[in-house]
Amino acid sequence: MSHSTSSDSPLQGASVAILGLGEVGRIYGTALAEAGHRVTGFDPYLSEAPGGVEVADTLEEAVAGAQIVVVLTAASASRSVAETAAAALAPGAVYADFTSSGPLEKRALATVFEGREDVRLVDVAILGPVIQMGTATPLMAAGPAGDAVAALMRPLGTPVEVVHGDLGDAMAHKLLRSVFMKGLASVVVEAVGAGRGAGMEEWVRGQIAGVLAGDGQAVIDRFLTGTSKHAARRAAEMRSTGAYLAALGVPAEMTDASMTAMERMAADGSRS
C-alpha cells in the first residue's frame, strides 16, 4: 500500500457543504469560508451559525449544489446521513466521511451510493484533537477522492496523508494507531498516578521520558522479543505490581490487563 504526501493543486472558490456544525464543523467551516470557499452547512441541532457559513434549512438543500460534502456528524448518524444525501448530491460531487465510524461501516457506505457512480467517495480519519489544534490537525484520506480532500484542506495548513487504498483504510490506520496511542496514554496516566501515590512521581516521570526519548525502533524490537520470551516471569511481576498499587489505593486497570496479556503469552509459548 502506498502513501502520498505530495502537494495537490489547491481548490479555488469551491462550493463546500458541511454536515454537522458542532465544534469541529464550526472550525472547519469558518476556515474554509475565510479561504474563499462558498460554505453551506446543516445541523438539526445548531445553536449558533459559524462565521462565513450559510446555514441551510435541510440536509438536501445543503448538499444540492456542493462540489465537496464534508460529513462531521456523530458516527452513529453516518449511514443515515449518507442515505439522505445520496439522491440530492450534484453530479460529480465528492462525499467525504470525516466521522469516527469503523472501517467496516465506512466500506459499507459504497452500497448507499449504488446507482450514483458519478459521486466520488472518500474516508477521512482525523488524527488529533481539532478543538485544540484547529486546522493544523493531521488528516488521513482513503478512497477515490482522497486527492480532492487534500487539495481542499492543505491550503488551510492541514497535513493530509492520502492512502491509496479502499474506503475504510484511513480509519483502519487510525484505529491501529489508537491501540498504541490510547493504550500508552492510559499506561502513562496509571504509572504517574502510582508514582504520585508512592511519593515518587518525578522519578517515574523520568523513567517514562527516558524510554520515549530513546531509539524508537530498538525499543519496539526489545518489547516484541523480550515480552513473549519472559512472559511468565513478567506476569508474576505485574501481579505483585497490581497488589502494590491496590495497597497505595490507586487504579491498576492497565497493570491488571498487562498481567492477563502476559499470562496468555506464556500459555501460548508453552504450547508452541
Task: Calculate the CA 43 to chain-centre distance.
Answer: 22
- Model confidence at 19: pLDDT above 90: yes
CA-CA distance, 150 to 163, in Å (whole number)? 11
pLDDT tens across 142-177, in order? 999 999 999 999 999 999 999 988 999 999 999 999
Compute the CA torsion angle 32, 57, 93, 157 (nearest 10 deg).
10
CA-CA distance, 61 to 40, in Å (whole number)? 9
Q: What mean pLDDT comes out for the span 108-113?
A: 95
Residue 235: per-residue pLDDT: 95
pLDDT tens across 187-197, in order? 999 999 999 99
β-pair type (94-97, 120-126):
parallel
Residue 270: per-residue pLDDT: 76
Task: pLDDT band for 102, please (50, 70, 90 cuts).
Answer: very high
β-pair type (3-4, 160-163):
antiparallel
pLDDT tens across 70-94, in order? 999 999 999 999 999 999 999 999 9
Q: Let me know: does 238 contact 259? Beta carbons within 8 Å.
A: yes
Q: All 3 cell numbers of residue 13?
A: 472558490
Residue 234: per-residue pLDDT: 95
- Model confidence at 2: pLDDT above 80: no
Q: What mean pLDDT comes out for the span 239-252?
A: 96
Query: Measuring CA to CA, how many Å separate 239 from each of 234, 250, 261, 266?
Result: 9, 15, 12, 14
- Model confidence at 250: pLDDT above 60: yes
Closest CA to 98 of 145, 59, 36: 145
Q: How far apart are the first and last CA of the chain?
A: 32
Residue 1: per-residue pLDDT: 42
Residue 82: per-residue pLDDT: 97
Sheet containing strand 38-42, strands side by side: 3-4, 160-163, 139-142, 120-126, 94-97, 68-71, 15-19, 38-42, 53-55
Residue 272: per-residue pLDDT: 61
Q: What mean pLDDT comes out for the span 119-131?
A: 96
pLDDT tens across 3-16, in order? 444 445 677 889 99
Percent with pLDDT over 70 in the chain: 96
